[in-house]
Structures are given as C-alpha cells and as structure tokens.
Amino acid sequence: MNLLAAALQNPVTMSSGKPLTAQIIDFIQREGLTVGSHLPAQLLADRLQVSRTPINEALATLHTHGVLERQKNRGYFLAPAAESGTLADDVLRQSSDEDAVYQAYLRIADDLLKGELPGEVTEVLLRTRYQLTPAQLKTVLNRIGQEGWAEKKRGYGWQFHTMLTTPEGLLQSYRLRLALEPAALLEPGYAIAPDVIARCRAAEQRLLAGAIDTDSPDELHERGVQFHESIVAASGNPFFIDTIRRVNRIRRLISYRSMQDRKRYPEHCRQHLHILDLLEAGRSAEASAELRLHLERTLANHQKIRRILTP
C-alpha cells in the first residue's frame, strides 16, 4: 500500500477539521497526481479554502517527510519517494499529532471563553489538563502566542489577554474594521484581480451550498478572514493590509463563540457576493458603501447575541 492510499484509509483524514497535511494527500489522490506534479500553494489554498500561510506550513511538513520535493523559486513537487510505504506511517503519525494539537487548541479556547481557565497558567497544568506531549503543547502555545491572545510570562507560565475573551473586545474590533475596511476600497487605483474575485465568490457559494452547517469554527473564521483581507489587499496600501491582518489574528478567539449562532451566515454570504459583484463591475465606491453596511449589520447582530459571547 503506498503513502496516498494509506493516508486515505486513516480516520484522521476523514474527520471534520482534519490536518492540512492529510487534506493535501487527499487532494493528490483525488486528482490522480503523479511523481513530478507541481502543487501550487495558491491552488491548494483555493481548493481547501484556507489562506496560503497554513498551506505553506503543511507543504513544508510534507517536504520534511519526503513526500514533496522543493525547487527554488518554483515551489513543491510530488517526490518519487512518495510511493514508499515507509513514509506512510511517518506522515500519518504527523497527521494524528496535528489533529491532537488542533483539538487541544479548540478546547483551550472554549475553556477560556467559558471562564474555566485562570488568566495565568503553567505549562504543566495545560499539558496535564489537555493530555499533550511537551512537543504538542509547544505547538499549541506557539499558535496561541502568534494569534495574540496569550503570551509567555517572564520566567514561568503563560498569561491570557482577557480583553479578547469579552463581548466588548469583539465589538471594538468590528468598530475598528468599520473605520478602515470601507476606506481601503476608496484608495486611488484600487484594483482587485479577477482570479481573487472568483476565488472569494466560490468560497461564498460553497458556504451557501451547505458548508455553513458543516464547517468547523476555525474553517468559518478563516473563510471570513480570507474574504475581507483579499478585498482590502487590493487597495495596495500596506498600512490597511497590515492593520486588518493584525486585527483578524487577535479577534479569532472570541469570534469562535459567535459562531454558535449561524443563522445569520446565509445573509452574510449574500452580502459578500453583492460586494464582489460591485467590485467586479469597477464600482468601488458603491462596494465601499455596501461593505460599511455589511459591517454595521454584523456589529448590530453581535450586540444582539451578547449572551452567547459572554462566558
């Protein structure tokens, strides 16, 4: 049994929120790719509906395991060693490990939002509570630290940022976005590429086709982030882009809780599609006005569900 066949038979690859390494292996098998085939990061990001950053991380992991070869300035290609059965166990163990890390990440976020974790914790407490190996815990804490809702204390332990666990923290982030995102669409020379519009439109249509009910909170958050960052990035203004990316990283935690109420998502998708239609027609000013209305509606909806946002 080769690597790809073995990976597809592993339960981890078939679960919700499965690791990206396993999803990429699934994609390779489904497309019937052969040794030497190119795996463009953007193509995978489009197909798997995530940003390029986690895709690049997953490709690097598969490269480490010998599944892919990396060519300078060209990207990743399916390696001859991918057919080796000895690689299967390595990659599948990696996928299982990633799944354990991901599940622990979600549990920590949920426990923190419910007020079941103190503001300061030791690594021993986290490792014991969530049954993680030292390496798994390090990976979880690295992600949490990068997203900005916790930081390592000097000398010992970790401290969570409580402002990111409150309803007001989420509402404040939306008020900042309300001030910035519509303005980005009014930048001189604003231009959004047709392939970006097509990618964003496909993501919204997929949600309307049923993924709203089946996607994990992480996946839903990522798709929203991808839409808003894509249309802001078309402004070409690095200050808008950098600020919105920073806000999106730190608002992830509290936004998970808002996803308990998904009834509003179909309307969100339709609003996103309308904005894309306006941008495609070159009507940036109208798209900016619609984006402002969209964010205002979202802000109002979050104010209505404060009970869900509150621990």
Tell me the pLDDT band of 235, cut-offs 50, 70 and 90: very high
Same domain, yes or no, for 139 and 253?
Answer: no
Top-ranked range on mean pLDDT: pick from 23-37, 130-144, 280-294: 280-294
**Together in a domain, 153 and 175:** no
What confidence score (pLDDT) does residue 198 get?
94
pLDDT at position 1 is 31
Check whether residue 173 and residue 250 sit in a common domain.
Answer: yes
Structural domain ending residue among the three candidates 93, 109, 129 = 93
Distance CA 256, CA 221 (A): 7
Cα 95 to Cα 111: distance, rounded to the nearest angstrom: 24
**pLDDT tens by residue, 159-204:** 987 655 666 766 788 889 999 999 999 999 999 999 999 999 999 9
244 and 119 in one domain? Answer: no
Residue written as tokens 């930081």?
151
- pLDDT per position as a tens digit, 270-285: 999 999 999 999 999 9
Model confidence over 142-164: pLDDT tens digits? 888 877 778 898 878 999 876 55
The residue among 78, 93, 108 that closes a domain is: 93
Percent of the chain past pLDDT 90, that is, above it, reads 31
Task: Kindly state the average pLDDT of the residues 103-113.
Answer: 82
Residue 2 has pLDDT above 70, yes or no: no
Least confidently predicted of 29-43, 82-96, 162-176: 82-96
* pLDDT given for residue 160 in this prediction: 85
Residues 189 and 278 grouped into a single domain: yes
Distance between CA 128 and CA 102 in Å, rounded? 16
Hey, what are 35's tokens?
Answer: 């040794």
- Domain boundary among the residues 93, 115, 150 is at 93
Sign of CA dihedral 58, 64, 65, 70: positive
Name the residue with higher pLDDT: 51 or 287. Answer: 287
Under 8 Å CB-to-CB from 218, ≥6 apart: which residues? Answer: 17, 102, 106, 256
Q: Are 106 and 252 in contact (CB under 8 A)?
A: no
pLDDT band at 90 (very low <50, low <70, confident <90, very high): low
Q: pLDDT grade, residue 76 (50/70/90)?
A: very high
Dist. CA 122–CA 102, nearest whole Å: 19
CATH of residue 54: 1.10.10.10
Q: Do 208 and 119 share a structural domain?
A: no
- Please tell me the total count of domains within the chain: 3
* Co-location of 181 and 292 in the same domain: yes
3-22 pLDDT tens trace: 333 333 332 222 335 678 87
Report CA-CA distances (Å) from 167 to 61, 115, 176, 288. Answer: 36, 13, 15, 26
**Structural domain boundaries enclosing 77:** 3-93
| pLDDT tens per residue across span 256-271 | 666 666 888 899 999 9
One domain, residues 154 and 171: no
Can you read off the two tokens belonging to residue 223? Answer: 């798709």
User: The CATH number of the domain where 183 resides is what?
Assistant: 1.20.120.530
Cβ-based neighbour number of residue 266 at 10 Å: 13
Q: Which residue has the higher pLDDT, 103 or 287?
A: 287
Average pLDDT, the chain: 80
pLDDT digits (tens, 9 = 90+) for 122-148: 999 999 999 999 988 998 998 888 777
